[in-house]
Amino acid sequence: MKRFSIIAIAFLVLVGVGYGVLSLQGDEPTMTESSFLAGGDRPTSVDLPNGYRADNPAPLLLDLHGFMGDGLSQQRFSRLSNIARENGFVYAAPDGLPNSNGDQFWNASKACCNFDRTDVDDAVFLKSLIDDISEKVAIDPKRIYIFGHSNGAFMSYKFACTYPDTVAAIVGVAGAMDLVGNDCAISSPVSVLEIHGTADAVIGFTGGGIAGISYTSVAQTLDTWRKLDKCIGAPMAKENIDIDESIDGAETKVFESTCTNSTVTSWQIVDGVHGPAFSSTFPKAIIEWLLANPKQ
């Protein structure tokens, strides 16, 4: 397929445990005097939590944007930056590199979203960013987390497969993994939360493809991680939750698998789309889930 066709397809397809948790005080991301830069030649603004102390290592959360997005748009989408800081997290929303069209992306899989086929290694970049942050401030190595949307969700899976010893848990919203040629093997369990709308027309709930390369369905993604994490028995249905303010009621079905030193969880937003309108309760639910799943 010609390069301009691939880019056109990309545009059409992809735009579109004992810890208390505080409530979100505001939706708009705010900068603080304690913010600093990390990441070397790809500088990223890093926010320290309220009341940070060097003698009390903090959890770290990286928040990854989707294709054509950036760190600021991701903060507004996820609504995580303020509540993360309020609950003791060091927080950063890094930017992917721009492609030949100027669109920022993560080289997460063959399907998504390195359409120029460059050799950038974003897993290495994120690992170096984590290392740089950990050298500058006190980070708890058992509480390093990644949250990602769309292309960023693909990237969260890629990072967990590449550096399973580094990350405790990942949250992927509207993402997937390559259906073929995905050689994921982990040396340490990684807890996974997969959030997906059943009516997602961009990254299909039942799987699909981008530029001729297939990606996994939600069921296949979860099955992959249940096998990797050595889960026991069938997933258990839990009480429905309300995380999408555009859909009435408790629209999200919850399924949870018990695994060896980890958890694999699915939040299925019934009739949810690619970019859910997350409710004010969503960030609190994410922070609670992350804190309940440190590295064992």
- pLDDT tens for 125-135 read 999 999 999 99
pLDDT for position 90: 98
CA 208/CA 217 separation, integer angstroms: 7
User: Mean pLDDT across the stretch 43-62?
Assistant: 96
User: Mean pLDDT across the stretch 245-251?
Assistant: 97
pTM of the model: 0.91
pLDDT for position 266: 98
Strand order in the sheet with 139-149: 36-38, 44-47, 90-92, 58-64, 139-149, 169-173, 191-197, 262-269, 252-259, 232-241
Residue 6 has pLDDT above 90, yes or no: no
The two tokens of residue 280 are 């004010």
CA 64/CA 253 separation, integer angstroms: 24
pLDDT for position 98: 98
CA 227/CA 230 separation, integer angstroms: 5
Confidence of residue 10 (pLDDT cuts 50, 70, 90): very low
pLDDT for position 176: 98
CA dist 261 → 55, 104, 188, 296 (Å)? 27, 35, 9, 6
pLDDT for position 196: 98
User: Mean pLDDT across the stretch 233-260?
Assistant: 96
- Residue 119, Cβ density class (10 Å: 0-12 exposed, 13-18 middle, ≥19 buried): exposed
CA 35/CA 40 separation, integer angstroms: 15
pLDDT for position 57: 98
CA dihedral of residues 163, 167, 168, 170 (deg, nearest 10): -100
- List of residues 6+ apart from 192 with CB closer than 8 A: 160, 169, 170, 171, 172, 222, 225, 229, 262, 263, 264, 265
Ramachandran bin of 276, using left for φ above 0, alpha for ψ from -120 to 50, beta for the remaining angles: beta
Q: Are 59 and 143 in contact (CB under 8 A)?
A: yes
User: Mean pLDDT across the stretch 42-51?
Assistant: 94
Residue 9 has pLDDT above 80, yes or no: no
CA dist 210 → 109, 114, 131, 183, 279 (Å)? 11, 11, 33, 19, 29
- Percent of the chain beyond pLDDT 90? 85
- pLDDT tens for 101-130 read 999 999 999 999 999 999 999 999 999 999
Which residue reads 């290694």 in tokens?
Answer: 121
Tell whether omega for the bond before 112 is within 30 degrees of 0, i.e. cis. no
